[in-house]
């Protein structure tokens, strides 16, 4: 598929698809006329990328994570240098931190919304404190 279709199917501006390619996050074949030619797997990959970017990861890190997401993984074990494994471990832990932070805050928002929906103007809310 060409860039327009990928753009539509992923809701991503063409500009960014080219940018992700420049950053080494996706690869595209080229048709004889120079047009980029994407295969089906790029749809999922682009969604992954967007999700991770939105979650605050920079392209530099995403690039290192992406090989983990391909199944079967066999081919990619060549990348598994000790430094790479250390990086991955570290990033995994940082992601875990992010997750707990987000869960905490989401739950706080949830509780707030709950409290508001129960009583638009409460004098006191049982917070346990």
To the nearest whole angstrom, how small is the minimum distance from the Cβ of residue 75 to DNA? Answer: 25
Consecutive H or E run containing 30: strand 29-30
Longest dimension (CA), the chain: 71
Q: Could you give phi then psi for residue 36, rounded to 5 degrees?
A: -70, 145
Q: Which does 58 bind (CB under 5 to 8 A by kind): DNA, a copy of itself, none?
A: DNA
Q: Rounded distance, CA 128 to CA 27, Å?
A: 54
In the complex, the residues that contact a copy of itself under the rule CB under 8 A are 48, 51-56, 65, 67-69, 71-74, 77, 80, 85, 88-89, 91-92, 95-99, 101-103, 105-106, 108-113, 115-116, 120-125, 127, 129
Q: Rounded distance, CA 25 to CA 18, Å?
A: 10
- Regarding 94 and contact with DNA (CB under 7 A), the answer is no
- Regarding 32 and contact with DNA (CB under 7 A), the answer is yes
Cβ closer to a copy of itself: 27 or 86?
Answer: 86
């Amino acid at each position: 598929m060409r860039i327009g279709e990928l753009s539509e199917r992923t809701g991503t501006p063409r500009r960014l698809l080219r940018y992700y390619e420049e950053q080494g996050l996706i690869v595209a074949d080229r048709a004889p006329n120079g047009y980029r030619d994407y295969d089906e797997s790029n749809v999922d990959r682009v969604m992954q990328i967007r999700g991770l970017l939105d979650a605050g990861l920079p392209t530099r890190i995403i690039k290192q994570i992406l090989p983990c997401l391909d199944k079967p993984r066999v081919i990619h074990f060549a990348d598994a240098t000790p430094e790479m494994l250390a990086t991955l471990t570290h990033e995994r832990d940082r992601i875990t931190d992010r997750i707990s932070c987000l869960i905490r805050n989401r739950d706080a928002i949830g509780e707030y919304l709950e409290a508001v929906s129960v009583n638009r103007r409460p004098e006191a809310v049982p917070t346990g404190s």
